[in-house]
Amino acid sequence: GEAAGRPVTLAMQLATELATRLKVTVTPRSPHDALFAVSSAYLQDPRNSPEDLLYEARDIFTARDWPSPEPLRQLAAIRHFDLYVSTTFDSLLQQALDTVRFGKTPGDRKPGTAVLAYSEKRQVEDLPSDPRDMTRPTVFQLFGRMDAVGDYALTEEKLLEFGHRFQSRDFRPQNLFDAMRTKSLLVLGCGFPGWLARFFLRAVKGDGLLTQGARGVVADATSSGDRDLVMFLQRRKATIYSDGDAVSFVAELF
């Protein structure tokens, strides 16, 4: 959506409504930081629990239907892409793919996009060991999914814990990480702080990050504005899209 002529993301809208519901006042450093800022402010009071935070966020999200943003619909229409690794916990990318690729409507039970999600609370889900068994476009939600299990990265602590578990072969989706290590990555609008972007690329590329490089494209306003991160990515043979943000990149690619 838009407010005062500026785009409003789902995360920003959730952060605004969550802050009102939880009666906390925050001033996020950036739009990408809004949800973390609200969760951090709420949990500063030891009487408040992470479970209540997750419940309230999910209650806001499930209370109404959210339209698929145009950039996600454009991305879904690019049929050359079959594997999407999402760093968000909402279902809007799946919704866009279901609509564009399968013509699904809300409540339609016919087969659509395959969705997998990482969770500490259940057995690790993973891609098929043989890529030829992927018969449908697949979304893998790397930092959890906003569902009844209630295991997703709404706090910085949870994000850090997920990232730590990805380092262990026993607790990570090995087939997914094998796929990311051998393919070029297109990183769109993740908004990771510099330390997390480096950590994330090291996790998914393994030792190859330092020997062969990242070999992909990064289209993200936050990353392109971080001079030290840009230099790091360029040393690792990544291409930085400098003509706009992820939205403009997807529009041009579409």
Report pLDDT digits (tens) over 7-44: 678 988 999 999 999 999 888 776 678 899 999 999 99
> What pLDDT is attached to residue 21?
95
Residues 244/223, Cβ–Cβ less than 8 Å: no
> What pLDDT is attached to residue 1?
62
Q: From residue 3, give the alpha-carbon distance in Å to each of 8, 9, 30, 95, 247.
A: 6, 10, 16, 23, 17
Report the chain's C-alpha Rg in angstroms. 18
Question: How buried is residue 34: exposed, middle or buried, by Cβ count under 10 Å (0-12/13-18/19+)?
Answer: buried
List 152's β-bridge partners, or say none.
144
pLDDT along the chain (254 residues), means of 10: 64 93 84 86 94 93 92 96 94 96 86 93 91 92 88 90 86 92 89 84 85 87 88 91 92 95
Residues 85/140, Cβ–Cβ less than 8 Å: yes
> What pLDDT is attached to residue 4?
47
Q: Residue 100's CB: how many other CB atoms inside 10 A?
A: 20
Tokens 């969770």 correspond to 119
Residues 39/14, Cβ–Cβ less than 8 Å: no
Residues 163/203, Cβ–Cβ less than 8 Å: yes
